[in-house]
Amino acid sequence: MDTTTPTLAPKAHVISLFSGGLDSSLSVLLMLRQNVQVTAITFMTHFGCDLSDRSSCSSNPYPAAKQFGFDVKLVHLADKFVKIVQDPTYGYGKNMNPCVDCRILMLREAKDYMEMVGADAIITGEVLGQRPFSQMRPKLHLTEREAGLKGRLLRPLSAKLLPPTIAELDGRIDREKLEAICGRGRHRQMELAKEFGLENYPSPASGCLLTDPEYSRKLRDLLQHTPHINFIDLNLLQVGRHFRLTPETKVIVGRSESDNNKLEAYAEPADWLLEVMDTGSPVTIVRGAPTPEDLEKAAAITARYCDLRTEPSVEVTLRQAKDSRTLRLEPGTAEWVESLRV
């Protein structure tokens, strides 16, 4: 006689916006506890949401998925996200973070997938009142409406404080087994993590570079002076020290060997690469439309950061795809260099 316990069919199927952080993980686990099938989507962008960053915005989703048995799909938002960063409908947060537009975009992408696979709802790890810009009650209602998800967007951690979804009303998801968390405290989340056996999760700090003041300054400068940005422009925002010489010309100076290697790799044929040979020196990239005077300024900046900065003059090598030359000049002063810093 067969004594195995039959596997019950899932009561519902939900699509999770899954960052790999504590809140989104707990939202998934609250669904799994109710025998609800979960397919998680982890979104990535060019602004820090990638799997190399151990943050609540973007952590490796696979350990939790493997431990608790749910599927994860990776989706890169690419130029769709770049467009909302350039011109967000609902504005920026404290820095360059278009959190409301970002959430709407992710929800719309998840909605398309939900409809394609015939799932019942979308879940997120949002907590009412946790973030002042994007998770207050009016903004939660706004994102639901703009994403076209009325009645089909469930926030399991705050569900009892929000209107019930269709899946709760028809009994596929038990509302009484959901949470009523509000605010920035994380005591209840920690209790749930212990209850579920969830141990490896990142700190709650955002991993989105758009929330970082220094990065935001660089991005704001790029958007102001570059009508048509490309992914090399975006990748370079994470590399080195940035200087603006003219509206058309920008200089980036490596801070480390890793930066130097990236600047070499990202250089395009029209870019100039500068370096002081035979001593400790950064690699500098000059992008845009530099004049001879701009190249001299870039060389003086490069000399300022090399090991020979205290010498009366330094020879800087400048090279381009089809050109190479040297300039001997005095290193720039600290005050002058800083005045050009983005």
Same-domain check for residues 187 and 266: no
Together in a domain, 199 and 301: no
Which CATH number do you get for residue 57? 3.40.50.620
Per residue in 170-210, pLDDT tens?
999 999 999 999 998 899 999 999 999 998 777 665 568 89
Answer whether residue 2 is part of any domain. no
Q: Tell me the pLDDT tens digit for each residue of 204-255.
A: 655 688 999 999 999 999 999 998 888 899 999 999 999 999 999 999 999 9
SS3 track for the chain? CCCCCCCCCCCEEEEEECCCCHHHHHHHHHHHCCCEEEEEEEEECCCCCCCCCCCCCCCCCHHHHHHHCCEEEEEECHHHHHHHHHCCCCCCCCCCCCHHHHHHHHHHHHHHHHHHHCCCEEECCCCECCCCCCCCHHHHHHHHHHCCCCCCEECCCCHHHCCCCHHHHCCCCCHHHCCCCECCCCHHHHHHHHHHCCCCCCCCCCCCHHHCHHHHHHHHHHHHHCCCCCHHHHHHCCCCEEEEEECCEEEEECCCHHHHHHHHHHCCCCCEEEECCCCCCCCEEEEECCCHHHHHHHHHHHHHCCCCCCCCCEEEEEEECCEEEEEEECCCCHHHHHHCEC
Reported confidence tier of residue 340, pLDDT bands at 50, 70, 90: very high
> Residue 302's domain spans which residues?
239-339
Please give the pLDDT value at position 307: 97
In a domain, 135, yes or no: yes
Query: pTM of this prediction?
Result: 0.86
Number of domains in the chain: 2
